[in-house]
Amino acid sequence: MEDSGVEALRVEISLAEAAGPELCLVVRRTLSRAAQEVQAGTFDCVVLDLGLPDASGLEALRQMQEADSKLPVVVLSAEESETLAMQAVQEGAQDFVLKSHASGPVLLRSIRYARERKQRELELRRQAFSDHLTGLPNREVFIDRLARGLAREERTGNLIGVMFVDMDRFKQVNDTLGHDAGDILLVEVAHRLSDAVRPSDAVARCGGDEFLVLCDGLEHEHQGLDIAERMGHALAEPVWIDGHEVFPHASIGIAFGRNRATPPELLIRLADEAMYRAKRAQRHYATADGRYASAGLGSET
């Protein structure tokens, strides 16, 4: 994406000569057109001029980041400024190239470097915000989403449901079949919980054999209880591990909220306490206020 037809043609020709069939270059002279195509298509990298007619400077970079934050960006600039280069990288660009130095080989190397660096960044971000075993979001990501959900539901009047899921007799699996078997069971439980909830819901692992489930946009509490029932049915089927039949039953505590003034950690704690009540009473699930509890799958007392 360049700010003039002459510059665009020069970049296209020089890159084509340097890369040959390795590169398919699409040139767009406005940021709005480029952003639309980035959102709709599949691209490997963006070479972005900071002097486009409809967006200049770092604002162009910000808009491109909004279009696709996972796409590597190489910034082109006529301004030889170390400060600008540092700001561009801090705001998400993977590399900064002066137009006066933008030969085909230089740009090709920069594109390759940008793609490699972006892949490393995404992997580090994934590791920081997800559980390494199951691939689910971790507790920190869950809390952030819960806080945003509470703010949204305060406006809509709908409910947020937080469920604390703890595996029953998980230690026994580790002790009798080994930790590898325990890991296999946790991965299977993560899959089953994710399949049991709605597409708009979120499942996270918060450590050990404990999971968190966020259900937002609930019109009433019984919608949340229905989801808890589905999770119970999903966990009722056995898992075969090295010839052993393992039943991944779990106890579930549920807390409801709709107010952004409610600290996310409080809802999690209330759901945790309800889970322990369900476990002690040998119930499938229990709610924080004690109004609902399930004695077994498909039944309610």
Contact (Cβ atoms closer than 8 angstroms) between residue 220 and residue 162: no
Helices (H), the chain: 5-19, 31-40, 58-67, 82-90, 104-129, 139-156, 170-177, 179-196, 221-236, 264-280
**Token match 């043609």: residue?**
9
Tell me which DSSP letter residue 100 carries. G
In angstroms, the CA 8 to CA 105 distance is 16
Beta-bridged to residue 285, according to DSSP, are 252, 294
In angstroms, the CA 257 to CA 153 distance is 9
Contact (Cβ atoms closer than 8 angstroms) between residue 170 and residue 266: no
In angstroms, the CA 171 to CA 192 distance is 20
Count how many residues are written for the chain: 301
**Token match 């890369």: residue?**
19
> Closest Cα partner for 217 from 148, 286, 136?
148
> Closest Cα partner for 75 from 235, 60, 234?
60
Contact (Cβ atoms closer than 8 angstroms) between residue 129 and residue 137: yes
> Closest Cα partner for 162 from 266, 62, 69?
266
Is 3 a residue of the active site? no
Among 95, 166, 209, 216, the one annotated catalytic: 209
What are the tokens at 104? 């085909």
End-to-end Cα distance, the chain: 64
Question: Catalytic residue positions?
Answer: 209
